[in-house]
A and B are shown apart, each in its own frame.
Chain A
Amino acid sequence: MTNENHHDGPPRVSGWRLLTAAGLLRAAWMTPLFFVVGLFIVAFFRWLAGWDPVYDWTVILAVGALTTAPIGFLTGIGAFDYWLYYISGRPSRPEDHSGHGARRWQDYFRVNTDHKVIGVQYLVTTFFFFIVGGLLAELFRAELARPGLQYVDSQTYNGLVSAHAVLMIFLFVIPAFAGLANFVVPLMLGAPDMAFPRLNALSFWLLPVAGVMFLASFVTPGGAFATGWTGYPTLASGQPLGQTFFNIGVQWAGASSIMTALNFLVTIITMRAPGMTFWRMPLLVWANFTTSLLVVIATPFIAGSQFFVLFDRVLHTHFFSPDEGGYVLGYQHIFWFYSHPAVYIMILPGFGIISEVISTFSRKPVFGYRLMALSLLGILVLGFSVWAHHMFVAGMAPWLRVPMMVSTLLIAVPTGIKVFSWLATMWEGKLRFTTPMLWALGFLSMFVLGGLSGIYLGSVPIDIHASDTYFIVAHIHYVLFSGSVFTIFAGIYFWFPKMTGRMYNERLGKWHFWLTFVSFNITFFPMHVLGLQGMPRRVFDYADRFAGWNMVISIASFALGASTIVFLYNMIVSWARGPVAVGNPWRAMTLEWLVSSPPPIFNFDEIPQVVGGPYEYGVPGARHAVLHGGTTGALQETHT
C-alpha cells in the first residue's frame, strides 16, 4: 500500500493551500507580483539617480514584464521549488517522484519531471504555436494576393512576416524536435528518464514564456517586432517597443534550447543501457547527439547578438551605431554564427527520424550505418564554417566569399551520402506505405530540391542575383517545410501509438500527407521563379507583372493551411477514441518498442541488455536487446 502512495502523484491540496502550492494558480499571482518588483527596481534606481521620468515604461517593461515576471511565473508554477528548498537549507521534499509521470490529465498542466510527459507537453505547445504561426502566414498571404496594400498597414505587415518566422523557428521546429527526442531518446537508450529531470521540466516551461512574449509584442504601441526574424541593426535599433520583446524572447527560448541540449548530451553519454556502444545507438540518438552539440556551441551567439541590440536600444550603448564607432556588420557575423548552424539544428533530428522510419518500413538495415553517423558529424563540423554565405552581398571582407562558398558547397557531400544511403536502404526492401513512410518519402524527394536550390545559393555569383528575393523564401521553405516539418509529421505519426497507446487513422493520415504535399508544392515552387525574375522578399507590394503567380500562391497557401485541419482532427479523435495500440505495432527493433504503449512510468521494469545493432532486419536470430525476464527484443515476435 505504501508503494501505491509512493507512486500516486503529488499530494492533493485544497482550499487556501491551493494558492501556495506549486501550480498554475500560484503562478497566476506570482507573475504580477514579480512584475511589480521589477517595476520598483527600475523606479527606485531612476529615482536614486534623479532621472526623469522615474516611471520610464520602455525600461519598466524590459525589466518587469520581460525579465522578472517570467521568473515569477516559473517560481509560481514550481520549476524552482526543489532547488530553492535545497539552497535555503530547508529539508527538500523526499525524492518520492511525486512530480513524475502522468496519471490524470491535470498532470500535463504542472511541472512534471517525466520525460514522456515533457515530450507531450512540448509537442502540444509547439503545435499550438505552429497553428498560430501558420495563421499569421495566411494573413500576409491574403495581403499579398494582390499588389498594393489592402488589409493591413506596412508596419503590421512586417510584423506578421517577422512573427511568422520567429514562431515557426523558435516555438515550433526547434522545440518540436526537442519534444520528440524527449519522449523517444531515453526509451531508445534503455534509460528510466533524462539525466536531469528537473532541468528538463524547466526547459519546457521557458518555452511558453518565450512564445507569449513574441505574441504579446503585437499589442505594444508601434506593433510587433517588424525587422524580420533576422532583426538587423541599425533598423532594429530604432524600432518601437515590440523589438525589445523579440530581443528578450529569444533569450528565454535560447536558454530552453541550451538546457535541453546539455541534458541530451549527458543522457546520451552516461545513461545508455549496458551493451549500447556508440556504434549500436539508433541514428535518431546520433542525430540528437550531434544537434545538441550544435545547440550548446552556437546558441550563446544569438543570445549575445540580441543582447547587443537590446543594450543599444535600452542602455544607449553603440555596438552597432556607426557614428559612434560601432560596426553594423558585426551583428550579422555573430547572428549567423548561430543562425546558420540553426538550420542544421532544425534538420539533423529530422534526418534521424527518417532513418528510423525508412529502415522500419523497408524491413532492412540502414545502409552504411557508420557513414550515416559520421556524415552527421561532418555536417556538424562544416556547419560552423559557412555562416558568411548569408552575407555574400552584405559588404563583408571580399576574400571571405570564396572560402565560405567552398565549405558551403562541400556540405552537399555528407548530405548526399545520407540521401543515397536512404535510397539504398529501400533497395530490395519490403516497402510498406504507412503514413510515416509517406512523409519520409515526401521528405526525401522534396528535400533534394531544397538541397539543389541550396547549391545555387552557395555559388556566390548566383547568390548575388538571388539573395534577398523570393528564391530565398522558396529555398528555406523547401528545406524547413518539406524538410523539417515533413520529418516532424513522420515522427508524430510513427510514435503516436507509443505516446498515446492508441492508433491514428491511417486513411486520414494519408489524406493529410497528399493534401499537404500537393498544396505545399503549388505554394512554394513558383516562388523560385518570382525571386529570380525580380521580386524581393519582405514586401507588401510588388510589380504588377508578378500578380498572377502571387494569387496562385495565396490560394494554394490557404489549402496548405486547411490540410492541417485533417491532421488535428485525426490526432484529437484518435487520441481520445482510436483503437488501442500494441507495444510494437511496426515490428521495429529499437528499445522503445520493447515496452508497452504508452510505456510504464519508469519505462523499463528491468534494464535491457543491448546485444546488437538497432536495425538487424533480415538477419536470422539477430536482436538489438534482450530482457532477462524472458521477453526478447526480437523482431520475429510479431504480435502480442
Chain B
Amino acid sequence: MVVIGVAAGTVATLVAVLIPWLPDSASKEMDRIQFVYWFATVISIVVFAIVAAALVYMVWKFRAAPDDDSDGPPIHGHTGLEVVWTAIPAALVTAIAIVSAIALSQNGKAGTNPVRVHVIGQQFAWKFEYPGSGVSSGRLVLPVGRSAELDLVAVDVIHSFWVPDFGQKQDAVPGLHTRLVITPTKLGTFPVICTELCGLGHATMRSEAEIVTQETFDAWLAKEKQGAGGGGGAAVFTAQGCGACHALAAAGTTAQVGPSLDTVAKDAQAAGEPVADFVRESIVDPEKRIAAGYAKGVMPKTFAGLPKDQLDALVQYVVSGKGS
C-alpha cells in the first residue's frame, strides 16, 4: 500500500510540477497567491496519495472470488481511527486558513504613496482615470515596483477586473466603490479581462495593462495631461476608451473587438452616406447598422450622451484620422 501511495504521490507531484498551472507572477500579490497555492498543493498531493493508495490496494487485494458468497468481518467502527481522521484534516485546513488569512491581509495593503487609479467598467470597455491629473485612458498604465490602489465602480452592470499575471481580481459594481491593490514587479504588457458575465460583449471586454518604469510613467502622464480637457477629438477618443475595441492608426490602437476605424470612408460609401453622418450615427445609434461579422448589442449606447462639442470633435477626429 505504501508503494502505491508513493507512486500515486509521485504522479500527482509530476502533474503539479510539469504542467504550467499558473501564469508567471508579475506582481507581489501574485507571489503570495502562488505561495498559498503551493502550500495547498503539497497538502492536496498527500491527501490524494493516501486515498488513491487505499483505494487501489483494496480493489486489488479484497476482490471477492466469484463463488465466494460469504461476508466480510463485521467491523462497525474504530473510535481511535475516527478521531484521527477528524483531527488531522481539521488541523490541515486550519493551517491553510491561517496562511490564507495572512496572505489576504498582506495583499490588501497599498503601502505609502500608491498610484491611485479609478477603474470604470461599462458595457463593454474599461476606462482608467488618474485622479488629480484629469487623465483618462482605455489602457491601464502603471509604474513598476510601486503599489497601485484601484478604486472600481461600474456604470451599468457588474463587471470584474482581472489581470491573470497579477492574480488580483475585483468586481466593479454599480453604486458601490470597491478596492484592489496591485504592485507590479515586471515590465511588459498584460491582458485585462472582464470575468463577470456582463452581457453580449462580455467575451471581448478586454484591455491591456502596460507596466513601465516610473520615468516613462511620469512622461506618459504628462503627455496625456496636455491632451486632456482640451476637448480635442484625440482626447475624447482616449478618454472614452474607444481604442479598447477599435483600431485607429492615428491613435495607435489595434484592438479588433469592433470594426476598424481606418476604413470608415469605404464603409460609409458602401452604406451610401456621407462619412461624417455615418460615423456620428454609428456612435449615437450603434444598433442601426451592424458591420458584417460583428454582433449586435456589443457597442455601448451610452456615447449618445456625450456633450455636442466633444461628439463633434470625436467625429472629426475619426473621419480625418488626424490628431487635433
Give A contacts to B, CB under 8 Å.
149, 153-155, 158, 227-228, 232, 234-235, 238, 322-323, 326-329, 362-365, 367-371, 393-395, 398, 401-402, 405-406, 409-410, 412-413, 416-417, 419-421, 423-424, 426-433, 441, 444-445, 448-449, 452, 455-456, 458-462, 464-465, 467-469, 528-529, 532-534, 536-543, 587, 616-619, 622, 635, 638
Contact = CB atoms under 8 A, between A and B. Distances in A.
A62 to B, nearest CB: 22
Nearest to B206: A543
B174 A234 contact: yes
Contact of B100 (A234, A428, A459, A536): A459
Contacts of A529: 19-21
B74 A365 contact: yes
Contact of B76 (A238, A369, A428): A369
Contacts of A617: 71-72, 74
B295 A445 contact: no
Contacts of B297: 154-155
A369 B77 contact: yes
B18 to A, nearest CB: 11
Interface in B3-44: 19-23, 30, 32-33, 36-37, 40, 43-44
A473 B265 CA distance: 44
B160 A393 contact: yes
A427 B75 contact: yes
A405 B178 contact: no
A31 B96 CA distance: 56
A461 to B, nearest CB: 4
Contacts of A460: 100-101, 104
Contacts of A635: 71
B295 A464 contact: no
Contacts of A467: 169, 195
**Max count, chain B CB within 10 A of own CB: residue among A367, A413, A419:** A413
A543 B191 contact: yes
Contacts of A370: 77
Nearest to A615: B76
Given A455-B93, A616-B74, A461 B33 contact: yes
A465 B167 contact: yes
Contacts of B72: 362-364, 428-430, 617-618
A538 B158 CA distance: 14
Nearest to A410: B93
Interface stretch (B46-54, B232-240, B241-249): B46-54
B169 A433 contact: no
Interface string B199-236: 11111100000000000000000000000000000000
Contacts of A327: 175
A619 to B, nearest CB: 4
B194 A536 contact: yes
B100 A462 contact: yes
Nearest to B19: A529
Contact of B40 (A367, A398, A455): A455
Contacts of A534: 23, 162, 164-165, 191, 193
A326 B104 contact: no
B90 interface: yes
Contacts of A432: 64
Contact of A322 (B82, B160, B176, B203): B176
B85 A431 contact: no
**Max count, chain B CB within 10 A of own CB: residue among A155, A365, A426, A462:** A462
- By Cβ-Cβ distance, the 4 closest A-B pairs, closest first, are A322-B175, A534-B164, A539-B203, A618-B71
Interface in B61-115: 62-64, 68-78, 81-82, 85-86, 89-90, 93-94, 96-97, 99-101, 103-104, 107-108
A556 B60 CA distance: 29
A322 B174 contact: yes
**Max count, chain A CB within 10 A of own CB: residue among B104, B197, B202:** B197
B310 interface: no
B58 A427 contact: yes
Contacts of B201: 154
A619 B97 CA distance: 43
Q: How many B residues touch the partner, as a band? A: 35 or more
Nearest to A429: B72
B30 A465 contact: yes
B285 interface: no
Contacts of B62: 362, 426-431
A328 B76 contact: no
Given A235-B157, A416-B85, A431-B58, A423 B51 contact: yes
A533 B70 CA distance: 52
A574 to B, nearest CB: 22
Nearest to B76: A365
A393 B169 contact: yes
A431 B64 contact: yes
Contact of B93 (A363, A364, A413, A427): A413
B296 interface: yes
B97 A405 contact: yes
A364 B171 contact: no
A423 B76 contact: no
A532 B22 contact: yes
B74 A619 contact: yes
Contacts of B76: 365, 367-369
A533 B44 contact: no
B16 to A, nearest CB: 11
Given A155-B200, A393-B171, A460-B100, A618 B74 contact: yes
B51 A419 contact: yes
Contacts of B194: 536
B306 interface: no
B262 interface: no
25 contacts: A149-B295, A154-B295, A232-B197, A235-B157, A328-B176, A363-B64, A364-B74, A368-B77, A368-B82, A371-B77, A417-B82, A417-B86, A419-B51, A428-B62, A428-B73, A428-B75, A430-B70, A461-B167, A462-B40, A465-B164, A532-B22, A534-B23, A539-B203, A542-B203, A619-B74
A548 B280 CA distance: 41
Nearest to B101: A402
A600 B49 CA distance: 47
A626 B169 CA distance: 61
Contacts of A410: 90, 93
Contacts of B197: 158, 227-228, 232, 235, 538
A238 B165 CA distance: 33
B82 A371 contact: yes
A401 B85 contact: no
Given A369-B76, A618-B72, A329 B51 contact: no
B253 interface: no
Contacts of B320: none
B168 interface: yes
Contacts of B22: 465, 532-533
Given A429-B62, A533-B20, A328 B85 contact: no
A322 B33 CA distance: 33
Contacts of A540: 203
B55 interface: yes
A492 to B, nearest CB: 22
B260 interface: no
Given A416-B85, A529-B21, A430 B68 contact: yes
B243 to A, nearest CB: 19
Contact of B101 (A326, A405, A426, A441): A405
Contact of A367 (B75, B99, B107, B173): B75
Nearest to A236: B157
B208 to A, nearest CB: 12
A469 B86 CA distance: 32
Contacts of B63: 431, 433
Contacts of A426: 58, 62
B287 interface: no
A532 B21 contact: yes
Contacts of B64: 363, 429-432
B200 to A, nearest CB: 5
B55 A444 contact: yes
